[in-house]
């Protein structure tokens, strides 16, 4: 399918690790909105509509869009909410611009740490019919996926360790003040060693999307959406084969088809992928067509996916470095946008003409979104 109107990212603000109690959540959202607008060179008056991705249970509010709306410029403006995932706010925002009825969209996601237990919050997602009695949270699900991969891929633990080290080194370079001596380790979930996930932190992220006409009129550079795909796994983990990621494959297929990409390895300069633990990143290499499992060892060994390689993955350090759980997906997209715009900061890649962002939410990469951003505008349909 061809999108009606070409859409691109013209600004972004990433706050992957917010500390201190000086600001209420709404004040944080105000700040991230103002920063994204500044980065895009716009004021709120230029914003036609807003989409937020927020989870009521993380926020402690029954309809989180209500209180958030004021902070992000929602008064007297068209605003929607996609609680399924922060990255879904990007999808919806992009569709709204692409349909020609909105010239710009502000999209945001955030992840507070005010709940007494995020594990308890996540556990509420288990159905009350069969699974609520189990201590099923997201990290537990990611761990189960690791167990499954251990059985299917000999030596996978060593590869996971390499991914972890790569991302931590990247994170220390990209966000030196925040990553510091290394993030606090996450809770223990066999077979994951504690440092195989980072402890949850508070974060927020905002992007500004615009139509090609708007960007041209205002003289704004953009990271153009060349392809976008999204798909979901079924709900019950028991219905899935955790050693595979068919929904991610499907999301990638949609995105590659739109972007005219047949072989991603030649076409993509860098990628940000979901890495709540290193095992998900490994699976993403395969599902995205970057490296089948038989080649994981080789590609990690020869540095292909490292910062100096031909397809660096997670130059930002990923969620393994900074883990604002709920908005890590949208942050992956924002990181690639900034790379393509040449505004990524210390971890700017010298050749970021085409970037791929993979955002995942839920248990063991349940929801998957793939966005391909390009510096070159290309032809709109």
Partner 1 sequence: MNPRVGIIGIGQSAFRAKRDDASYPDLVREATKLAMEDAKLEFDDIEAIVYSLSPDAMVGIGNAERLGIDAVGARNKRFLRINTGGATGISSVAAAYYHVAAGACDVVLTAGADKVGECGDSQTVLNKIWDPIYERPLPLGTITMLAMSAIRYMHKYGMTEEDMAQVVVKNRWQAAKNPKAHLRKQTTVDEVFASRMISWPVKLFDCCPQSSGGGAMVLASEKYIKDRKLDAVWITGVGHCSETYYIGDRMGRGYTADHADAYALEHSFKRAYQMAGITDPRRQIHVAELYAPFSNTEFHSIEAAGLAKLGESPAMMREGDFRIGGAIPVNPSGGVLCTNAIAVTAMIRVAEIALQVAGRAGEHQVKGAKLGVAIGYCGDHQFFGTMVVEA
Partner 2 sequence: MELLKRKETWNITYTHALGETASWFYVQLRDHGKIYGKRDAKSGRVLVPPRAFSDQTLEPTTDWVEVGPGGVIETFTIVYEEFNGLPPPPYAFGYVMLDGADTAIGGFFKGVELADGKAAAEKLKVGTRVTTKFADRRIGDVLDFWFERSGK
Report how far residue 110's alpha carbon sits from residue 259's, in angstroms, rounded to the nearest whole number: 29
Binding-residue pattern over the window 34 to 63 for partner 2, x denoting contact by CB under 8 A = x---------x------------x--x---
Any residues with CB less than 8 A from the CB of 353 and at least 6 apart, and which?
A: 269, 340, 374, 375, 376
Taking CB within 5 to 8 Å according to partner kind, which of partner 1, partner 2, none is near residue 294?
none
127 binds, among partner 2, partner 1, none (CB under 5 to 8 A by kind): partner 1
* Contact predicate 270/344, CB 8 Å: no
Please tell me the distance from the alpha carbon of residue 56 to that of residue 29, in angstroms, as a whole number: 15
From the list partner 1, partner 2, none, pick the one residue 116 interacts with, judged by a Cβ distance below 5 to 8 Å according to partner type: partner 2
Residue 378: Cβ within 10 Å count: 12
Asked whether position 71 contacts partner 2 by CB under 8 A, the answer is yes
Q: Does 265 bind partner 1 (CB under 8 A)?
A: no
Burial category of 56 from C-beta neighbours within 10 Å (exposed 0-12, middle 13-18, buried 19 and up): middle
Closest CB to partner 1 among 347 and 374? Answer: 374
Q: Does 27 bind partner 2 (CB under 8 A)?
A: yes
- Position 1 contacts partner 1 (CB under 8 A): yes
354, 224 contact by CB (below 8 A): no
63, 66, 75, 152: residue in contact with partner 2 (rule CB under 8 A): 75
- In angstroms, the CA 137 to CA 140 distance is 5
98 binds partner 1 per the rule CB under 8 A = yes
Are 118 and 325 a contacting pair, CB within 8 Å? yes
List the interface residues with partner 2, window 218-277 (CB under 8 A): none
CA distance 134 to 147: 18
Q: How many residues bind partner 1 (CB under 8 A)?
A: 68
Q: Is 73 in the site for partner 2 (CB under 8 A)?
A: yes
**Could you tell me the CA-to-CA distances from 129 to 123, 132, 140 in Å, in that order?**
13, 7, 19
Site for partner 2 contains 30 (CB under 8 A):
yes
100: left (phi over 0), alpha (psi -120 to 50) or beta: left
Cβ atoms within 10 A of the Cβ of 78, count?
14
Interface positions, 39-68, toward partner 1 (CB under 8 A): 49, 55-57, 60-63, 65-67
Indicate which of partner 2, partner 1, none lies near residue 115 (CB less than 5 to 8 Å, by partner kind).
Answer: partner 2
Shortest CB 298 distance to partner 1, Å: 29
For the segment 290-329, give every residue that binds partner 1 (CB under 8 A). none
Closest CB to partner 1 among residues 24, 298: 24
Distance CA 48, CA 281 (A): 36
Size of the site for partner 2 (CB under 8 A): 28
* C-alpha torsion 161→238→186→290, nearest 10: 40
List interacting residues with partner 1 (CB under 8 A): 1-5, 24, 26, 49, 55-57, 60-63, 65-67, 69-70, 74-85, 88, 91-92, 94-96, 98-101, 121-129, 228-235, 239, 246-247, 250, 254, 362, 366-367, 381
Residues that bind partner 2 (CB under 8 A): 21-27, 30, 34, 44, 57, 60, 69-71, 73-75, 114-117, 120-121, 124, 128-129, 132
């Amino acid at each position: 399918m061809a999108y009606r109107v070409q859409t691109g990212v013209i600004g972004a603000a990433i706050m992957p690790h917010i500390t201190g109690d000086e600001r209420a959540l709404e004040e944080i959202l105000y700040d991230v909105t103002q920063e994204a607008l500044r980065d895009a060179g716009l004021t709120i008056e230029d914003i036609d509509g807003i989409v937020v991705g927020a989870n009521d249970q993380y926020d402690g509010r029954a309809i989180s869009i209500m209180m958030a709306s004021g902070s992000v410029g929602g008064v007297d403006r068209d605003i929607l909410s996609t609680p399924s995932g922060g990255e879904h706010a990007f999808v919806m925002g992009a569709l709204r611009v692409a349909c020609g009825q909105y010239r710009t969209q502000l999209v945001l996601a955030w992840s507070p740490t005010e709940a007494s237990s995020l594990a308890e919050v996540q556990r509420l997602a288990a159905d009350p019919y069969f699974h609520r009695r189990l201590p099923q949270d997201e990290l537990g699900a990611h761990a189960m996926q690791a167990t499954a991969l251990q059985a299917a891929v000999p030596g996978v633990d060593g590869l996971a360790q390499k991914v972890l080290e790569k991302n931590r080194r990247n994170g220390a370079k990209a966000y030196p003040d925040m990553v510091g001596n290394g993030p606090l380790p996450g809770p223990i979930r066999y077979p994951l060693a504690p440092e195989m996930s980072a402890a949850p932190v508070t974060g927020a992220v905002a992007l500004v999307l615009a139509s090609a006409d708007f960007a041209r009129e205002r003289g704004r550079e953009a990271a153009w959406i060349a392809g976008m795909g999204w798909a979901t796994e079924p709900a019950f983990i028991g219905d899935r084969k955790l050693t595979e990621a068919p929904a991610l494959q499907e999301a990638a297929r949609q995105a590659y088809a739109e972007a005219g990409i047949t072989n991603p390895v030649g076409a993509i300069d860098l990628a940000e992928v979901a890495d709540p633990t290193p095992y998900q990143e490994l699976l993403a290499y395969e599902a995205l067509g970057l490296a089948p499992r038989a080649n994981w060892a080789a590609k990690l060994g020869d540095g292909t996916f490292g910062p100096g390689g031909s397809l660096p993955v997670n130059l930002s350090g990923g969620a393994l470095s900074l883990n604002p759980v709920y908005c890590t997906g949208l942050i992956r997209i924002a990181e690639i946008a900034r790379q393509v715009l040449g505004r990524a900061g210390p971890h700017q890649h010298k050749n970021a003409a085409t970037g791929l962002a993979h955002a995942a939410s839920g248990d063991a990469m349940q929801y998957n979104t793939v966005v391909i951003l390009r510096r070159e505008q290309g032809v709109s349909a």
